[in-house]
Amino acid sequence: MVSGKNLIALFFVAIILIFSNWGDKTMATDKTKTIKLPLPSIKSGVSVEECILKRRSVRTFSDKKLNQSQIGQLLWAAQGITAANKNFHLRAAPSAGALYPMETFAVTPDGIFKYIPKSHEIKTIDEGDKRKKLASAAWGQDFIVSAPLTIALCSVYSRLTDKYGKRGIRYAHIEAGHIAENIHLQAISLGLVSVPIGAFDDKKTADVLNLPDDCQPLYMIPIGFPQSNEKEK
Ligand SMILES: Cc1cc2nc3c(=O)[nH]c(=O)nc-3n(C[C@H](O)[C@H](O)[C@H](O)COP(=O)(O)O)c2cc1C
């Protein structure tokens, strides 16, 4: 028998559950939602030399998720605004003609997000865990599934080729390397590990990331905390 008191308690629990689910669904279906990222830090206890020394391609990650501050810091190192006035915004990595062909995406267990450098925000592109699909698009590189964050660099070549012709394609690839190295070194500085991925099916990867036709995936970087045995190396 359920007593009157228990019935009242059940009623309140049900109300809380209904409202918390309602809140989640609103978040989950709101693809226009943007999330303001915490301001990046410009100080760390790890020197750039130490980051260069310690950087290795690591393909196993612990279960620990990254928080918004760590995700924001990595995206800032990739493409954050580092100098600005009313006429221009310059970013963390150099870019031919300051034309910035790269779009930067974050794939987390929660969904796919696009980085907006100017406002240091991420915009929801798709919700839900797409990491299995991404691993499958990358020829079954399954460590993508255990990475709490994969940053994908995708190029809109026309931003460069309109000015530089075919040479603009080379410039985009050079720039992807600059951006990627910033990410790898920032990861080390945060106590994280990363791995570059160039082997993936372009079309399948573009489909998973919901890329527009003019945007080509170039480079993916899974990032996470090292497994405990890795820490001891
Ligand atoms: C352009 C590029 C593409 C790469 N693609 C992959 C990849 O698809 N999968 C992978 O596991 N490692 C990939 N790597 C990582 C290399 O295997 C790794 O850098 C190399 O073994 C040297 O090891 P280190 O990064 O620890 O110095 C890639 C590296 C580069 C630079």
The 10s digit of each residue's pLDDT in 142-197 is 999 999 999 999 999 999 999 999 999 999 999 999 999 999 999 999 999 999 99
CA distance 128 to 111: 5
Q: Are 163 and 97 contacting, i.e. CB atoms less than 8 angstroms apart?
A: yes
For residue 29, the model assigns a pLDDT of 42
For residue 228, the model assigns a pLDDT of 82
Q: Are 93 and 179 contacting, i.e. CB atoms less than 8 angstroms apart?
A: yes
Helix and strand numbers (H, E) in the chain are 9, 9
**DSSP code of residue 196:** -
The 10s digit of each residue's pLDDT in 91-136 is 999 999 999 999 999 999 999 999 999 999 999 999 999 999 999 9
**DSSP code of residue 217:** E
The 10s digit of each residue's pLDDT in 32-74 is 799 999 999 999 999 999 999 999 999 999 999 999 999 999 9
Cβ neighbours, 10 Å, residue 114: 20
**Which residue lies with its CA nearest to atom 31 of ligand 1?**
196
For residue 20, the model assigns a pLDDT of 30
For residue 32, the model assigns a pLDDT of 72
Strand locations in the chain (E): 34-36, 81-84, 89-91, 102-108, 111-116, 121-127, 149-155, 193-194, 216-224
Query: Taking phi first (over 0 means left), then psi (-120 to 50 degrees means alpha), and beta for anything else, what does residue 120 get?
Result: left
The 10s digit of each residue's pLDDT in 6-38 is 444 434 333 322 333 333 333 344 567 999 999
Q: Hey, where are the domains in the chain? A: 1-30, 34-231
177 Cα–ligand 1 center, Å: 12
Q: Which residues line ligand 1 (CB under 6 A)?
A: 56-57, 59, 141, 195-199
Q: Which fold has domain 34-231?
A: NADH Oxidase (3.40.109)
116 Cα–ligand 1 center, Å: 27
195 Cα–ligand 1 center, Å: 7
Structure tokens of 179?
């951006």
CA distance 195 to 167: 28
For residue 222, the model assigns a pLDDT of 99
**Which residue lies with its CA nearest to atom 21 of ligand 1?**
57
For residue 23, the model assigns a pLDDT of 32
Q: What confidence tier does 229 reach under pLDDT thresholds 50, 70, 90? A: low
